[in-house]
Amino acid sequence: PTARPDQPDPSATYKVPVDGAQARGPAGAKITIVEWADFQCPFCSRVEPTMAELMKDYEGELRHVYMHNALPMHNRALPAALAAEAAGRQGKFWQMYALLFEHQRELTDENFVKWAKKLKLDTKRFKRDMKDPQLTEHIAQQQQLATSLGARGTPAFFVNGRFLSGAQPKEAFKVLIDEELAEADRLLAAGTPRAQLYETIVADGRTAP
């Protein structure tokens, strides 16, 4: 596929930093999928089961990193992102992530607190953290990174730095993953430490479209 000038080139590798972002899967995974999403975006909720399947299909080989891109047209996207990050401060980001996508049409402040109770969070701390300007700034920085890379829509994915746009079928992910697994195996065989694998793969990547 060819890219528009303002979008990432699917044939290129991009240097996508993952520091400070929520992640599931081993840090030394051969494949890192960075996802930019919005909890109010219907296409993002549609692709969530695909991500869960990929985590099972490539268990131990895949790390899923979640970044926020709360689009201005979705008035509950930012509060939902704050709820997820507030839950993350108590070790329950991915559990809240699942509830937010499952109940995408019910993203009220009351429900955020109800789900926090369901997850056995300290609700006073949860409410306080939701109002923490540091979390708002953290989310804004992730959105700015998406913009700088040209990944403005949601969901947007980078598979070991290679761009994949939209709610793609699992097969589209698998094509990229399998290609990148071969490259990861080549680097590991050449002596790259697993802990430095992702950084090595994206080290010389582009930082703009």
CB count, 10 Å around CB of 28? 16
| DSSP assignment letter at 67 | E
Residue entry with tokens 């993953």:
177
In CATH, what is the architecture of 22-202? 3-Layer(aba) Sandwich (3.40)
Question: Helix crossing, 77-88 with 93-102: angle to 10°?
Answer: 150
Rounded to the nearest 10 degrees, what angle do helices 109-118 and 77-88 cross at?
A: 20
Do residues 36 and 16 touch, judged by C-beta distance below 8 A? Answer: no
**Single pTM value for the model:** 0.95
User: pLDDT tens-digit profile of 103-131?
Assistant: 999 999 999 999 999 999 999 999 999 99
pLDDT 10s digits, 60-92: 999 999 999 999 999 999 999 999 999 999 999
